[in-house]
Amino acid sequence: MTFLLILVGVVLVLLTGLPVFTGLGLFAGGLLLVTQGDLGALGEVVFGQLDSYLLVAIPLFTLMAHIMIRGRVVDDLYGTAHTLLRHLPGGIGIATVFACTIFAAISGSSIATALTVGAVAIPQMIHYGYKPRVAYGVVAAGGTLGILIPPSGPMVLYGVISDTSIGGLFMAGILPGLMIAVLFAVWCAVNDRGTLRQPRASLSEMGRALRKSGWALSLPVFVLGGMYAGVFTATEAAAAGALAALVVSAVIYRNFGLRDLWASAMDSVRTSAMLFMILAAAGVFGHVLTKMRVPQQIVELVVHWDVGVAGFLIAMMVLIALLGMFLETISIILITTPVVLPVMAHLGINPIWYGILLTINLELALITPPVGMNLFTIKAVAKAPMGEVIRGVAPYVFLMVIGLVLVMIWPDIALWLPSTMR
Protein backbone atom coordinates (compact mmCIF):
# COMPACT_ATOMS: atom_id res chain seq x y z
CA MET A 1 0.00 0.00 0.00
CA THR A 2 2.91 2.35 0.79
CA PHE A 3 4.44 1.70 -2.62
CA LEU A 4 1.11 2.20 -4.41
CA LEU A 5 0.59 5.54 -2.64
CA ILE A 6 4.14 6.62 -3.53
CA LEU A 7 3.62 5.50 -7.13
CA VAL A 8 0.39 7.46 -7.45
CA GLY A 9 2.13 10.48 -5.94
CA VAL A 10 5.03 10.28 -8.43
CA VAL A 11 2.67 9.94 -11.39
CA LEU A 12 0.61 12.95 -10.26
CA VAL A 13 3.77 15.06 -9.81
CA LEU A 14 5.09 14.11 -13.25
CA LEU A 15 1.71 14.82 -14.86
CA THR A 16 1.96 18.45 -13.69
CA GLY A 17 4.35 19.05 -16.59
CA LEU A 18 7.49 19.53 -14.50
CA PRO A 19 10.69 18.16 -16.07
CA VAL A 20 11.14 14.53 -15.03
CA PHE A 21 14.32 15.11 -13.01
CA THR A 22 12.74 18.10 -11.22
CA GLY A 23 9.49 16.34 -10.36
CA LEU A 24 11.12 13.07 -9.32
CA GLY A 25 13.88 14.84 -7.39
CA LEU A 26 11.53 17.13 -5.50
CA PHE A 27 9.18 14.26 -4.66
CA ALA A 28 12.03 12.01 -3.49
CA GLY A 29 13.67 14.83 -1.53
CA GLY A 30 10.36 15.65 0.15
CA LEU A 31 9.83 12.01 1.10
CA LEU A 32 13.36 11.83 2.51
CA LEU A 33 12.81 14.98 4.55
CA VAL A 34 9.52 13.68 5.94
CA THR A 35 10.75 10.16 6.74
CA GLN A 36 14.34 10.88 7.82
CA GLY A 37 14.30 14.60 8.60
CA ASP A 38 17.74 14.95 6.99
CA LEU A 39 18.95 15.66 3.45
CA GLY A 40 22.63 15.29 4.31
CA ALA A 41 23.04 12.03 2.39
CA LEU A 42 21.80 13.44 -0.92
CA GLY A 43 25.21 14.46 -2.25
CA GLU A 44 26.71 11.04 -1.61
CA VAL A 45 23.70 9.28 -3.18
CA VAL A 46 23.82 11.41 -6.33
CA PHE A 47 27.58 11.01 -6.73
CA GLY A 48 27.34 7.24 -6.22
CA GLN A 49 24.58 7.00 -8.83
CA LEU A 50 26.57 8.82 -11.50
CA ASP A 51 30.04 7.50 -10.65
CA SER A 52 29.86 4.62 -13.15
CA TYR A 53 32.15 3.90 -16.07
CA LEU A 54 29.26 2.20 -17.88
CA LEU A 55 27.43 5.53 -18.22
CA VAL A 56 30.12 6.71 -20.64
CA ALA A 57 28.37 4.52 -23.24
CA ILE A 58 25.33 6.85 -23.32
CA PRO A 59 27.01 10.00 -24.73
CA LEU A 60 29.18 7.91 -27.06
CA PHE A 61 26.30 5.94 -28.58
CA THR A 62 24.33 9.20 -28.86
CA LEU A 63 27.28 10.83 -30.61
CA MET A 64 27.52 7.91 -33.06
CA ALA A 65 23.84 8.31 -33.96
CA HIS A 66 24.08 12.07 -34.49
CA ILE A 67 27.19 11.70 -36.67
CA MET A 68 25.43 9.09 -38.81
CA ILE A 69 22.34 11.28 -39.21
CA ARG A 70 24.21 14.52 -39.96
CA GLY A 71 26.62 12.71 -42.28
CA ARG A 72 23.62 11.39 -44.27
CA VAL A 73 25.04 7.89 -43.96
CA VAL A 74 21.56 6.53 -43.24
CA ASP A 75 19.79 8.26 -46.14
CA ASP A 76 20.43 5.30 -48.43
CA LEU A 77 18.85 2.72 -46.11
CA TYR A 78 15.26 3.18 -47.24
CA GLY A 79 16.26 3.22 -50.91
CA THR A 80 18.10 -0.07 -50.50
CA ALA A 81 15.20 -1.67 -48.62
CA HIS A 82 12.79 -0.47 -51.31
CA THR A 83 14.96 -1.90 -54.10
CA LEU A 84 15.34 -5.32 -52.45
CA LEU A 85 11.77 -5.81 -51.23
CA ARG A 86 9.43 -3.81 -53.48
CA HIS A 87 8.20 -6.84 -55.47
CA LEU A 88 6.83 -8.67 -52.39
CA PRO A 89 3.20 -8.44 -51.22
CA GLY A 90 3.21 -5.42 -48.94
CA GLY A 91 6.74 -4.75 -50.16
CA ILE A 92 6.83 -1.01 -49.40
CA GLY A 93 5.57 -1.66 -45.86
CA ILE A 94 8.12 -4.44 -45.39
CA ALA A 95 10.84 -2.13 -46.70
CA THR A 96 9.79 0.46 -44.12
CA VAL A 97 10.02 -2.11 -41.32
CA PHE A 98 13.45 -3.19 -42.63
CA ALA A 99 14.68 0.42 -42.71
CA CYS A 100 13.40 0.99 -39.16
CA THR A 101 15.20 -2.17 -37.99
CA ILE A 102 18.55 -1.12 -39.43
CA PHE A 103 18.19 2.48 -38.31
CA ALA A 104 17.31 1.23 -34.81
CA ALA A 105 20.67 -0.55 -34.71
CA ILE A 106 22.34 2.78 -35.49
CA SER A 107 20.42 5.37 -33.52
CA GLY A 108 19.30 3.58 -30.34
CA SER A 109 16.34 5.97 -30.24
CA SER A 110 12.74 5.18 -31.09
CA ILE A 111 11.78 8.80 -31.67
CA ALA A 112 14.79 9.39 -33.97
CA THR A 113 13.91 6.21 -35.90
CA ALA A 114 10.26 7.19 -36.38
CA LEU A 115 11.22 10.77 -37.27
CA THR A 116 13.97 9.96 -39.77
CA VAL A 117 12.39 6.97 -41.51
CA GLY A 118 8.90 8.46 -41.38
CA ALA A 119 9.93 11.59 -43.28
CA VAL A 120 10.95 9.39 -46.24
CA ALA A 121 8.66 6.36 -45.94
CA ILE A 122 5.22 7.87 -45.27
CA PRO A 123 5.00 9.87 -48.54
CA GLN A 124 6.31 6.84 -50.47
CA MET A 125 3.77 4.46 -48.94
CA ILE A 126 0.87 6.82 -49.63
CA HIS A 127 2.13 7.31 -53.21
CA TYR A 128 2.02 3.55 -53.80
CA GLY A 129 -1.57 3.19 -52.64
CA TYR A 130 -1.34 2.64 -48.88
CA LYS A 131 -4.03 4.26 -46.78
CA PRO A 132 -2.48 7.10 -44.74
CA ARG A 133 -3.35 5.48 -41.40
CA VAL A 134 -1.65 2.25 -42.49
CA ALA A 135 1.52 4.19 -43.33
CA TYR A 136 1.40 6.00 -39.99
CA GLY A 137 1.01 2.72 -38.10
CA VAL A 138 3.94 0.99 -39.83
CA VAL A 139 6.38 3.81 -39.09
CA ALA A 140 5.17 4.46 -35.53
CA ALA A 141 5.43 0.77 -34.63
CA GLY A 142 8.68 0.20 -36.55
CA GLY A 143 10.19 3.15 -34.72
CA THR A 144 9.73 1.43 -31.36
CA LEU A 145 12.43 -1.07 -32.37
CA GLY A 146 14.93 1.71 -31.61
CA ILE A 147 15.01 0.84 -27.91
CA LEU A 148 14.95 -2.96 -28.29
CA ILE A 149 17.52 -3.56 -31.03
CA PRO A 150 20.87 -2.39 -29.62
CA PRO A 151 22.41 0.02 -28.96
CA SER A 152 19.70 1.18 -26.58
CA GLY A 153 19.79 4.03 -24.08
CA PRO A 154 17.05 2.55 -21.86
CA MET A 155 18.95 -0.76 -21.72
CA VAL A 156 22.08 1.07 -20.57
CA LEU A 157 20.12 2.79 -17.79
CA TYR A 158 18.49 -0.46 -16.71
CA GLY A 159 21.89 -2.19 -16.75
CA VAL A 160 23.47 0.49 -14.57
CA ILE A 161 20.62 0.51 -12.03
CA SER A 162 20.33 -3.29 -11.84
CA ASP A 163 24.09 -3.97 -12.15
CA THR A 164 23.40 -6.17 -15.19
CA SER A 165 25.78 -6.75 -18.10
CA ILE A 166 24.97 -4.15 -20.75
CA GLY A 167 26.67 -6.29 -23.40
CA GLY A 168 24.44 -9.20 -22.35
CA LEU A 169 21.35 -6.98 -22.54
CA PHE A 170 22.34 -5.77 -26.00
CA MET A 171 22.79 -9.31 -27.30
CA ALA A 172 19.52 -10.39 -25.65
CA GLY A 173 17.61 -7.68 -27.50
CA ILE A 174 18.65 -8.79 -30.99
CA LEU A 175 16.51 -11.91 -31.50
CA PRO A 176 13.34 -10.50 -29.84
CA GLY A 177 13.79 -7.33 -31.89
CA LEU A 178 14.13 -9.28 -35.14
CA MET A 179 11.17 -11.48 -34.15
CA ILE A 180 8.92 -8.46 -33.62
CA ALA A 181 10.17 -6.94 -36.89
CA VAL A 182 9.20 -10.18 -38.68
CA LEU A 183 5.73 -10.05 -37.07
CA PHE A 184 5.33 -6.50 -38.38
CA ALA A 185 6.53 -7.52 -41.86
CA VAL A 186 4.18 -10.51 -42.01
CA TRP A 187 1.27 -8.26 -41.05
CA CYS A 188 2.25 -5.84 -43.84
CA ALA A 189 2.20 -8.73 -46.34
CA VAL A 190 -1.10 -10.18 -45.10
CA ASN A 191 -2.77 -6.77 -44.93
CA ASP A 192 -1.68 -5.74 -48.44
CA ARG A 193 -4.85 -4.50 -50.16
CA GLY A 194 -5.10 -2.15 -53.11
CA THR A 195 -1.42 -1.18 -53.23
CA LEU A 196 0.67 -0.91 -56.38
CA ARG A 197 2.98 -3.92 -56.88
CA GLN A 198 6.35 -3.07 -58.40
CA PRO A 199 8.58 -5.26 -60.56
CA ARG A 200 11.43 -7.21 -59.03
CA ALA A 201 14.74 -5.33 -59.14
CA SER A 202 17.48 -6.76 -61.31
CA LEU A 203 20.62 -8.20 -59.76
CA SER A 204 22.61 -5.18 -60.92
CA GLU A 205 20.10 -2.81 -59.25
CA MET A 206 20.31 -4.81 -56.02
CA GLY A 207 24.10 -4.77 -56.16
CA ARG A 208 24.22 -0.99 -56.66
CA ALA A 209 21.77 -0.44 -53.78
CA LEU A 210 23.77 -2.65 -51.41
CA ARG A 211 27.04 -0.93 -52.35
CA LYS A 212 25.46 2.45 -51.80
CA SER A 213 24.27 1.61 -48.26
CA GLY A 214 27.09 -0.80 -47.42
CA TRP A 215 28.76 1.49 -44.88
CA ALA A 216 25.50 2.18 -43.06
CA LEU A 217 24.79 -1.57 -42.92
CA SER A 218 28.31 -2.43 -41.74
CA LEU A 219 28.43 -0.20 -38.65
CA PRO A 220 25.86 -2.14 -36.56
CA VAL A 221 27.64 -5.37 -37.54
CA PHE A 222 30.98 -3.86 -36.46
CA VAL A 223 29.69 -2.64 -33.07
CA LEU A 224 27.51 -5.64 -32.13
CA GLY A 225 29.91 -8.18 -33.61
CA GLY A 226 32.76 -6.72 -31.59
CA MET A 227 30.75 -7.03 -28.38
CA TYR A 228 29.61 -10.56 -29.22
CA ALA A 229 33.16 -11.73 -29.95
CA GLY A 230 34.48 -10.21 -26.74
CA VAL A 231 36.62 -7.63 -28.54
CA PHE A 232 34.73 -4.69 -27.00
CA THR A 233 32.91 -4.03 -23.78
CA ALA A 234 29.71 -2.02 -24.24
CA THR A 235 31.51 1.24 -23.42
CA GLU A 236 34.42 0.43 -25.72
CA ALA A 237 31.95 -0.53 -28.46
CA ALA A 238 30.30 2.88 -28.11
CA ALA A 239 33.67 4.62 -28.52
CA ALA A 240 34.64 2.42 -31.48
CA GLY A 241 31.24 2.98 -33.10
CA ALA A 242 31.46 6.77 -32.72
CA LEU A 243 34.98 6.77 -34.23
CA ALA A 244 33.90 4.50 -37.10
CA ALA A 245 30.86 6.70 -37.83
CA LEU A 246 33.13 9.77 -37.90
CA VAL A 247 35.56 8.11 -40.34
CA VAL A 248 32.75 6.95 -42.63
CA SER A 249 31.00 10.34 -42.64
CA ALA A 250 34.10 12.56 -42.93
CA VAL A 251 36.45 10.43 -45.04
CA ILE A 252 34.25 8.16 -47.18
CA TYR A 253 31.06 10.20 -47.66
CA ARG A 254 32.97 13.50 -47.34
CA ASN A 255 29.94 15.47 -46.23
CA PHE A 256 30.73 15.94 -42.55
CA GLY A 257 32.80 18.90 -41.38
CA LEU A 258 33.95 20.45 -38.11
CA ARG A 259 30.68 22.38 -37.73
CA ASP A 260 28.74 19.12 -38.03
CA LEU A 261 31.02 17.51 -35.46
CA TRP A 262 30.45 20.40 -33.05
CA ALA A 263 26.67 20.28 -33.57
CA SER A 264 26.63 16.49 -33.07
CA ALA A 265 28.71 16.79 -29.90
CA MET A 266 26.44 19.50 -28.48
CA ASP A 267 23.30 17.46 -29.21
CA SER A 268 24.89 14.45 -27.51
CA VAL A 269 25.85 16.54 -24.47
CA ARG A 270 22.31 17.90 -24.10
CA THR A 271 20.72 14.45 -24.34
CA SER A 272 23.24 12.86 -21.97
CA ALA A 273 23.01 15.67 -19.41
CA MET A 274 19.22 15.32 -19.34
CA LEU A 275 19.48 11.54 -18.81
CA PHE A 276 22.11 11.91 -16.09
CA MET A 277 20.00 14.45 -14.20
CA ILE A 278 17.04 12.07 -14.35
CA LEU A 279 19.29 9.24 -13.19
CA ALA A 280 20.50 11.32 -10.22
CA ALA A 281 16.90 12.06 -9.19
CA ALA A 282 16.06 8.37 -9.56
CA GLY A 283 19.01 7.48 -7.33
CA VAL A 284 17.55 9.66 -4.58
CA PHE A 285 14.12 8.06 -5.14
CA GLY A 286 15.59 4.55 -4.86
CA HIS A 287 17.50 5.58 -1.71
CA VAL A 288 14.27 6.80 -0.11
CA LEU A 289 12.42 3.58 -0.98
CA THR A 290 15.22 1.52 0.56
CA LYS A 291 15.19 3.64 3.73
CA MET A 292 11.43 3.10 3.97
CA ARG A 293 11.97 -0.66 3.46
CA VAL A 294 9.49 -0.70 0.56
CA PRO A 295 11.42 -3.30 -1.52
CA GLN A 296 11.78 -5.59 1.50
CA GLN A 297 8.08 -5.31 2.28
CA ILE A 298 7.19 -6.22 -1.31
CA VAL A 299 9.45 -9.29 -1.08
CA GLU A 300 7.65 -10.30 2.12
CA LEU A 301 4.30 -9.80 0.35
CA VAL A 302 5.40 -11.96 -2.59
CA VAL A 303 6.54 -14.69 -0.18
CA HIS A 304 3.27 -14.48 1.76
CA TRP A 305 1.07 -14.68 -1.35
CA ASP A 306 3.34 -17.21 -3.09
CA VAL A 307 2.61 -15.64 -6.50
CA GLY A 308 5.54 -17.39 -8.22
CA VAL A 309 7.58 -16.18 -11.19
CA ALA A 310 4.70 -16.17 -13.70
CA GLY A 311 2.31 -14.32 -11.40
CA PHE A 312 4.92 -11.69 -10.52
CA LEU A 313 5.91 -11.10 -14.16
CA ILE A 314 2.30 -10.82 -15.33
CA ALA A 315 1.53 -8.34 -12.54
CA MET A 316 4.62 -6.26 -13.39
CA MET A 317 3.89 -6.25 -17.12
CA VAL A 318 0.33 -5.05 -16.49
CA LEU A 319 1.60 -2.35 -14.11
CA ILE A 320 4.26 -1.15 -16.56
CA ALA A 321 1.73 -1.12 -19.41
CA LEU A 322 -0.56 1.08 -17.32
CA LEU A 323 2.30 3.39 -16.34
CA GLY A 324 3.29 3.57 -20.00
CA MET A 325 0.01 5.29 -20.81
CA PHE A 326 1.05 8.27 -18.66
CA LEU A 327 4.85 8.27 -18.24
CA GLU A 328 7.76 8.13 -20.67
CA THR A 329 10.12 5.17 -20.79
CA ILE A 330 13.02 6.52 -18.73
CA SER A 331 10.76 7.44 -15.81
CA ILE A 332 9.22 3.96 -15.76
CA ILE A 333 12.64 2.25 -15.64
CA LEU A 334 13.93 4.48 -12.87
CA ILE A 335 10.77 4.28 -10.73
CA THR A 336 10.12 0.53 -10.90
CA THR A 337 13.56 -1.11 -11.14
CA PRO A 338 14.85 -0.37 -7.59
CA VAL A 339 11.65 -1.88 -6.19
CA VAL A 340 11.59 -5.11 -8.21
CA LEU A 341 15.28 -6.07 -7.94
CA PRO A 342 14.98 -7.72 -4.49
CA VAL A 343 11.86 -9.61 -5.64
CA MET A 344 13.66 -10.82 -8.77
CA ALA A 345 16.58 -12.01 -6.66
CA HIS A 346 14.20 -13.89 -4.34
CA LEU A 347 12.33 -15.54 -7.22
CA GLY A 348 15.50 -16.31 -9.19
CA ILE A 349 14.44 -14.26 -12.24
CA ASN A 350 17.27 -13.64 -14.71
CA PRO A 351 17.74 -9.83 -14.79
CA ILE A 352 18.63 -9.93 -18.51
CA TRP A 353 15.37 -11.73 -19.31
CA TYR A 354 13.38 -9.26 -17.21
CA GLY A 355 15.23 -6.37 -18.89
CA ILE A 356 14.07 -7.53 -22.33
CA LEU A 357 10.47 -8.02 -21.14
CA LEU A 358 10.62 -4.54 -19.63
CA THR A 359 11.97 -3.04 -22.87
CA ILE A 360 9.29 -4.68 -25.04
CA ASN A 361 6.67 -3.32 -22.66
CA LEU A 362 8.28 0.11 -22.90
CA GLU A 363 7.92 -0.15 -26.68
CA LEU A 364 4.19 -0.45 -26.09
CA ALA A 365 4.35 2.75 -24.02
CA LEU A 366 5.64 4.58 -27.11
CA ILE A 367 2.52 3.79 -29.18
CA THR A 368 -0.28 3.75 -26.59
CA PRO A 369 -2.24 6.96 -25.92
CA PRO A 370 -2.44 9.39 -24.29
CA VAL A 371 1.35 9.88 -23.89
CA GLY A 372 2.79 7.68 -26.66
CA MET A 373 5.79 9.68 -27.90
CA ASN A 374 5.94 7.96 -31.29
CA LEU A 375 2.30 8.89 -31.89
CA PHE A 376 3.15 12.57 -31.44
CA THR A 377 6.26 12.16 -33.62
CA ILE A 378 4.25 10.73 -36.53
CA LYS A 379 1.55 13.36 -36.04
CA ALA A 380 4.20 16.06 -36.37
CA VAL A 381 6.01 14.48 -39.33
CA ALA A 382 2.88 13.71 -41.36
CA LYS A 383 0.68 16.55 -40.03
CA ALA A 384 -1.92 13.85 -39.47
CA PRO A 385 -4.96 13.72 -37.14
CA MET A 386 -4.07 11.90 -33.93
CA GLY A 387 -7.12 9.64 -34.31
CA GLU A 388 -5.81 8.35 -37.65
CA VAL A 389 -2.38 7.66 -36.18
CA ILE A 390 -3.90 5.72 -33.26
CA ARG A 391 -6.13 3.68 -35.59
CA GLY A 392 -3.16 2.84 -37.79
CA VAL A 393 -0.98 1.67 -34.92
CA ALA A 394 -3.66 -0.45 -33.17
CA PRO A 395 -2.82 -3.78 -34.93
CA TYR A 396 0.85 -3.37 -34.02
CA VAL A 397 0.01 -3.01 -30.33
CA PHE A 398 -1.57 -6.47 -30.55
CA LEU A 399 1.47 -7.87 -32.43
CA MET A 400 3.83 -6.44 -29.83
CA VAL A 401 1.81 -8.05 -27.02
CA ILE A 402 2.20 -11.37 -28.89
CA GLY A 403 5.97 -10.80 -28.98
CA LEU A 404 6.00 -10.01 -25.26
CA VAL A 405 4.06 -13.21 -24.45
CA LEU A 406 6.39 -15.32 -26.63
CA VAL A 407 9.50 -14.03 -24.85
CA MET A 408 7.80 -14.59 -21.50
CA ILE A 409 6.90 -18.20 -22.38
CA TRP A 410 10.26 -18.99 -24.04
CA PRO A 411 13.01 -17.06 -22.24
CA ASP A 412 15.65 -18.57 -24.55
CA ILE A 413 14.48 -16.22 -27.31
CA ALA A 414 16.25 -13.54 -25.28
CA LEU A 415 18.81 -15.59 -23.35
CA TRP A 416 20.27 -17.91 -25.99
CA LEU A 417 22.47 -15.35 -27.76
CA PRO A 418 24.01 -13.89 -24.56
CA SER A 419 24.78 -17.44 -23.37
CA THR A 420 27.01 -17.95 -26.43
CA MET A 421 29.02 -14.73 -25.96
CA ARG A 422 32.69 -14.80 -25.17
Which pLDDT score is estimated for 192?
76
1, amino acid identity: M
Give, in order, the Cα–Cα distances in Å from 295 to each of 3, 337, 345: 9, 10, 11
When mean pLDDT is compared over 20-24, 97-101, 215-219, 348-352, the highest value belongs to: 348-352
Q: At residue 74, does pLDDT exceed 70?
A: no
Terminal CA-CA length for the chain: 44
At 395, the pLDDT band (50, 70, 90 cuts) reads very high
Give the separation between CA 30 and CA 39, rounded to whole angstroms.
9
Evaluate whether 374 touches 137 at the Cβ level (below 8 Å).
no
For the chain, percent helix, then strand, then coil, each to nearest 5? Answer: 80, 0, 20
Evaluate whether 74 touches 216 at the Cβ level (below 8 Å).
yes
* 336-392: pLDDT as tens digits: 888 888 889 988 999 999 999 999 999 888 888 877 888 888 888 888 888 889 899
Output the DSSP codes for 384-418. Answer: --HHHHHHHHHHHHHHHHHHHHHHHH-THHHHHHH
Which pLDDT score is estimated for 194?
65
* 8-50: pLDDT as tens digits: 787 787 777 777 788 878 888 787 777 766 666 777 778 877 8
* 134-173: pLDDT as tens digits: 999 999 999 888 888 888 888 988 998 888 988 899 999 9
State the average pLDDT over residues 213-234. Answer: 85
- Specify the pTM: 0.87
Which runs of consecutive H residues, i.e. helices, occur in 147-293? 153-162, 166-190, 203-212, 214-228, 234-247, 258-291
- Dihedral of CA 120/182/333/336: which sign? positive
Which pLDDT score is estimated for 29?
79
